[in-house]
Amino acid sequence: MKKVYPTAQAALEGVLFDGMYIAAGGFGLCGIPENLISAIRDAGTKDLTVASNNAGVDDFGLGLLLQTRQVKKMISSYVGENAEFMRQYLSGELELEFNPQGTLAERMRAGGAGIPGFYTKTGVGTVIAEGKEHKDFNGETYILEEGIFADLSIVKAWKGDTQGNLIYRKTARNFNPNAATCGKVCIAEVEEIVPVGSLDPDQIHTPGIFVDRIIQGDHEKRIEQRTIREG
């Protein structure tokens, strides 16, 4: 099975459709699949539901899809750093489902493991719990959270081989391993594609069985907040 594609546009061909559900890896601008996001913008796919920790910044990452009004709903933990995200949410233009970060990560992991739901104490007694099933275990109240089952997972890794085995580098690991598992189709972009057998099996974070397509891309790696000292 050929998994290596020449471009992000080629990798997304035949996968995108209006109204689809996308799980995206990354945290802020760290480890985001920036080439795939740009290709989705260029494709014009609309009415998207996107599960991701946040939505990048105004002019980069998932913020690009907000600028073009391609996103109908965000499932996220954090609205900061993106003024357009905040504006659309407060004006009622964008649906937003808030999730605590750990809950969002576990929802992706659960979906990847075929688990439809799980109970957690996080969010009990807050707006997060509204409308959700409550259940007591050993005298403690928990709420039911559903696993995420997306149409498409998009992730960014440091290295990958031609069979889709992936290694993430340092904090770019963040949501990527969980996001990679919960989509019907997973497309990964990497900084370097190497031959099968080049990666130490003990160092692989996402096994190739989860990855359907892979591209090698150029990455800008922007920094959200740059603070420097006077010389």
Q: Are 132 and 144 in contact (CB under 8 A)?
A: yes
Instruction: Report the alpha-carbon distance of residue 32 to residue 30 in Å, rounded.
Output: 6
Q: Are 35 and 6 in contact (CB under 8 A)?
A: no
Q: Could you tell me which of 101, 107, 67 has the C-alpha nearest to residue 85?
A: 67
Q: Dihedral of CA 111/188/45/15: which sign?
A: negative
Judge whether 120 lies within some domain.
no
Q: Could you tell me which of 2, 3, 8 has the C-alpha nearest to residue 154?
A: 8
The alpha carbon of residue 112 and the mean position of all alpha carbons in its chain are separated, in whole angstroms, by: 13
Q: What's the pLDDT at 80? A: 75
Judge whether 75 lies within some domain.
yes
Judge whether 84 lies within some domain.
yes
- pLDDT beneath 50: ranges in the chain: none
* Residue 118 DSSP SS3: strand
Judge whether 122 lies within some domain.
no
Q: In sequence order, what are the residues at sequence separation of 6 or more whose Cβ sits closer than 8 angstroms to the Cβ of residue 68?
A: 41, 44
Instruction: Report the alpha-carbon distance of residue 156 to residue 135 in Å, rounded.
Output: 37
Q: How far is CA 156 from CA 92, 153, 222, in A?
A: 31, 10, 14
Domain CATH number, residue 13: 3.40.1080.10
Q: What's the pLDDT at 86? A: 87
Q: Which residues constitute the domain of residue 65?
A: 8-115+149-216
Instruction: Report the alpha-carbon distance of residue 11 to residue 27 in Å, rounded.
Output: 23
Judge whether 96 lies within some domain.
yes
Q: Could you tell me which of 87, 88, 77, 85 has the C-alpha nearest to residue 61?
A: 85
Mean model confidence pLDDT for the chain: 95
Q: What's the pLDDT at 56? A: 87
Q: What's the pLDDT at 7? A: 98
Instruction: Report the alpha-carbon distance of residue 189 to residue 93 in Å, rounded.
Output: 30
Residue 18 — φ and ψ, nearest 5°? -60, 140
Name the domain count of the chain. 1
E strand intervals along the chain: 21-24, 48-51, 71-76, 95-98, 117-120, 134-137, 140-146, 150-161, 166-167, 183-194, 213-216
How many DSSP H helices and E strands does the chain contain?
6, 11
Judge whether 125 lies within some domain.
no
Q: Tell me, letter by letter, the H, E, C secondary structure of 161-207.
A: ECCCCEECCHHHHCCHHHHHHCEEEEEEEEEEEECCCCCCHHHCCEC
Q: What's the pLDDT at 83? A: 87
- Express each pLDDT in 84-96 by its tens digit: 988 999 999 999 9
